[in-house]
Structure 1
Amino acid sequence: MKYLITSTLLLALGLSACVYEPEQFEEKSAESSNSGASSDIGTVYSINSGKQICNPSITQDTVNYPGAMLWLNFGGKLNVSPKDSGYTISGVYQHDRITVTNQDNEVQWYLMTDSSECQFQDPEWTTHPNFVVATSADTTGSKGCTDLDYGIFTARMSDHKRFWLVEKGMGEFTCPHVWVDPSVTEPDTSASDTTIQGFFGTENVRLVFVDKSSVINFVDYANGGMKKAIKLKKSPEMEKENWTPDSPLISPDGKFIVFNVVKGPGNNTVMKSYIQKLSETSAPVEIERTADMMGEPMQPHWFKYGERLFVTWAEVPDDVFFIKSDFSLAVTQDGSVGRTAMREISLDANAPADLAMQWIGPVTEVAPIPTTGGRSADGKYLATGYANGFMLELP
């Protein structure tokens, strides 16, 4: 869904990996970013310095891709160190590849569109380190890559093979996310990659996405798959005021999601965040804005550390327009443009509704800059990207 863009809307959607795809900004000098600069907040690394990125997603594989992030590119030139000759850095088309780079701006992994595809959208690391999920638009029946029909696929990072979860009928802002049974370690690559079991090494796989009617759908491949997809309930406020859900992410146990909602467009555009159990009868529960928060929680992510579970999010003050900020500069690191925060939570899918989600302790600040791509599984890195791409290595 494309929106009329106002300053307020850009403020809100500049935080989002999915609900709004920005137009390509005018390029700035690659030397303007002080990549690798250390300060009290940690070390900030510039990704694709001087060139725009979007859809940042922090690594979920701290063994093969430590200190890395996934992202989408824009057209023209890229400012990265290629992995091999197959990764071109000039004559690049918008969203023609999914890229994973490390903190030194070196390409560690990539997936290119093929000759029948127009572009990728909405890439995200799944809950499993070996799989990423995204949408892709086919050129078949489309002139000049307009009025595109999207499908949802997962890619196996170990061998770049793809599996189509939904072949067609999706919109541009589908925002898919996938949960894979964490007991799967290394899938049998000799098995058939044409089935869920063969591709993932288990049938215990779950998918969420936003359909063209702006409803979050939940698919459990161990219990009927797409034929028994569930449309999740909206809250009365979301229904009445036409809130649009965005970027649902499945919890580590596979039983809940966090997501944004957006009300707009216009000068009164607002974003909020919710948690919801993955069931037909469960209602979404708003993540409360407490008195010590700078603004509404935006772009929430799950973060599991040992046996503890947290929700992380970005906060920005209402009057700050920050999406082009260079977070390697000290002037942006004092919290004036926003912050990344988190709060511990306990989930129990078998408990009564009023006990299923329990916050533990207060909201705490992770970093005095707002980041939108989540926190790495080892807790060491944050990622963000809209006009500029950055990773922050925490102290």
Structure 2
Amino acid sequence: MQIYKVGGAVRDRLLGKPVTDIDWVVVGATTEDMLAKGFRPVGADFPVFLHPKSGEEYALARTERKSGRGYGGFTFHASPEVTLEEDLIRRDLTINAMAEDDQQNLTDPYHGQRDLKARLLRHVSPAFAEDPLRVLRVARFAARYAKLGFTVAPETLELMRQLSESGELEALTAERSWKEISRALLEDQPQVFIEVLRECGALKVLMPEVDALFGVPQPEAHHPEVDTGVHTLSVLEQAALHQQPLTVRWASLLHDLGKGLTPEEEWPRHIAHEHKGLKLIKAVNERFKAPKDCQELALLVGQYHTHGHRALELKPSTLLELLQSFDVYRRPQRFEEFIAACEMDARGRKGLEQRSYPQADYLRGAASAARSVAVQPLLEKGFKGPELGEAIKRERLKALKAYKEQA
């Protein structure tokens, strides 16, 4: 039995990055050997075991064969005869197909170290094209390592293009797709993820609503970058620079989908794009079964982001409706995330990345003014039921009028 550290742990050590998760491959062992040493089995499809003390994953060396469509369409074979090289060749990228023993002796049959130095994301073998999930994975690695100068090798991009055109991407489950998308959006340069998907034709398949934004112009006075797709990438980039949570990044990606529906004769204006985009945002949310908090914020930002930009001009009654829509009294964090998304939208414009956004503090102050209305005095006056609701609304409107006058 020989045990090797494999994949990301080896890659990140060679890059000088912190190693968090460690994967191990065991060569020359059987399931019975692992059980005898106290390992606990966890793999349903192939033999993976948890170490009795560390809890880390140890997988028996295995080969795989394509047997159906999609990410799960593989037959695995694990036995003591499978070599380390045979196990590594089934991996996605050369930089993930290296192994080292307990003395840090490197096994690198597919030149991963060379590609690390060349800053290339290159597939290990033609079998790469058998797994559609790898299109998303490579785009995610491109986003993670873009700041180190990594790019996708042309021949790998071509395989990704073939996969995108093959219909295989449609076989991916919502859960697997969302796992890759959400991880990619939380990388340092998530806009690169979208760029790579677009370059290989996968964006058109997975998110045609986002793909449709490229080439759609906006008024240059407000958007010096003009192109709506370029603007969307810039908003996503700003969200990452400001370390926004996943909810804000997802909303940043989807906020302008309605502009993709504007007839060409109306360009570069996009009247009512906020309302038109809601059905598209809902469709993307449902396609990937995004978590509820991501879905809700994306829809609210899509509908109200221009309200955010015009916050200082809004009538108190409109401001109150906005606050009610977000339920700022019970869910203040969601309104904070809305403000953040609006600010990222304002900064995601060429040459305006450092602009101030006074609307943020104004909206926070408005929410605070509305929340300061006490309910107890109204109860003491005998209001109850629907009448109490109307009385609270009147008091909040009064508070917002006073706030606007003072601001």
Give the alignment's TM-score, normalised by structure 2.
Answer: 0.25
Which structure has more relative contact order (CA 8 Å, sep 6+)? It is 1
The higher radius of gyration belongs to: 2
The structure carrying a bigger strand percent of its residues is 1
Give the alignment's TM-score, normalised by structure 1.
Answer: 0.26
